[in-house]
């Protein structure tokens, strides 16, 4: 058995992959099953979680519109770490809460990842988990490089200083007890969050940054599929088929 990455101290870790997106902006309801370089997009996130040495379990959270396709996909490949496929909720945060609630009792660390980020590397999952083991909460993010404008009614109001602005990605990793507490408090208070770190921020839990990658893009629009396919081709260049 491989030694756990530095910082994990033998804690058991799981990845919850959120795979129930409706893909309105992509124009394809079952977005996570859209073909990407010859495979359903979800397959790449599964590959990364399966390859991450720190990860023991994978939980998939699906929508009613993706369940059949996800189950069929699981039947065609050997992702041995998948332990559950659970139904999500109306909001993304409901889906994440459902996935976390399904985890085995002995899981101490959990990373949440969007199936719509197919280019995640196993090393980034492990780095986020290791940082969460040390700090309680850690997310992948990249510093903003574009000039940011505040706009009102199609007119520029101001230029926003970007020196301390980062764009959040997934995976977002947590000590399980920290995330469960943050979810409980957030749900009781009716907090609407767009990522898991939002629950921790509302609770006053510090969230560490793990530098992600610009290639860890989220497929949202048709042009993102083209870019993701090109990046995958570059990644595979020179590798054995």
* 167 assigned to some structural domain: yes
For position 25, what pLDDT does the model report?
56
Provide the pLDDT for residue 9: 57
Whether residue 33 lies inside any domain: the answer is: yes
For the chain, the straight-line distance linking the first and the last C-alpha, in angstroms and rounded, comes to: 27
CA 40 to chain centre: 17
The CATH code of the domain that includes 134 is: 3.90.550.10
pLDDT at 7: 53
- Which tens digit of pLDDT belongs to each residue from 109-160? 999 999 999 999 999 999 999 999 999 999 999 999 999 999 999 999 999 9
Question: What band does 29 get if pLDDT is binned at 50, 70 and 90?
Answer: low
| Residue 239 confidence (pLDDT) | 58
Q: How confident is the model at residue 2 (pLDDT cuts 50, 70, 90)?
A: very low
State the average pLDDT over residues 11-37: 81
Any domain includes 8: no
Query: Is 99 inside a domain boundary?
Result: yes
Q: Looking at residues 39-63, what average pLDDT do you find?
A: 96
Residue 5: per-residue pLDDT:
47
State the pLDDT at residue 1. 32
The rounded percent of the chain whose pLDDT value lies above 90 is 73
* Percent over 70 (pLDDT), the chain: 90
| pLDDT at residue number 138 | 97
| pLDDT confidence bin for 235, thresholds 50/70/90 | confident
Angle at 200 between CA 197 and CA 202, to 5 degrees: 110
Please tell me the predicted confidence (pLDDT) of residue 141.
Answer: 97
Q: How far is CA 235 from CA 7, 12, 82, 215, in A?
A: 28, 30, 25, 10
Domain carrying residue 203: 13-236
Q: Count of domains in the chain? A: 1
Quote the pLDDT of residue 190: 83
């Amino acid at each position: 058995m491989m030694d756990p990455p530095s910082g994990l101290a033998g804690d058991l870790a799981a990845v919850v992959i959120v795979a129930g997106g409706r893909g309105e902006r992509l124009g394809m309801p079952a977005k996570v099953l859209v073909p990407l370089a010859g495979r359903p997009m979800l397959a790449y996130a599964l590959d990364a979680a399966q390859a991450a040495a720190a990860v023991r379990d994978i939980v998939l959270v699906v929508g009613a519109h993706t369940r059949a396709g996800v189950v069929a996909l699981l039947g065609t490949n050997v992702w041995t770490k998948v332990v559950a496929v659970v139904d999500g909720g109306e909001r993304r945060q409901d889906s994440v809460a459902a996935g976390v609630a399904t985890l085995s009792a002995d899981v101490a660390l959990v990373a949440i990842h969007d199936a719509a980020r197919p280019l995640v590397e196993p090393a980034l999952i492990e780095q986020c988990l290791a940082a969460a083991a040390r700090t309680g909460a850690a997310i992948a993010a990249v510093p903003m490089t574009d000039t940011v404008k505040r706009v009102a009614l199609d007119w520029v109001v101001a230029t926003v200083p970007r020196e301390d602005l980062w764009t959040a990605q997934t995976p977002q990793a947590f000590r399980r007890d920290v995330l469960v507490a943050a979810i409980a408090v957030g749900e009781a208070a009716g907090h609407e969050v767009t990522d898991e770190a939002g629950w921790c921020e509302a609770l006053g839990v510090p969230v560490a940054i793990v530098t992600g990658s610009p290639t860890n893009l989220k497929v949202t629009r048709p042009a993102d599929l083209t870019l993701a396919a090109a990046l995958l081709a570059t990644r595979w260049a020179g590798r054995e088929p």
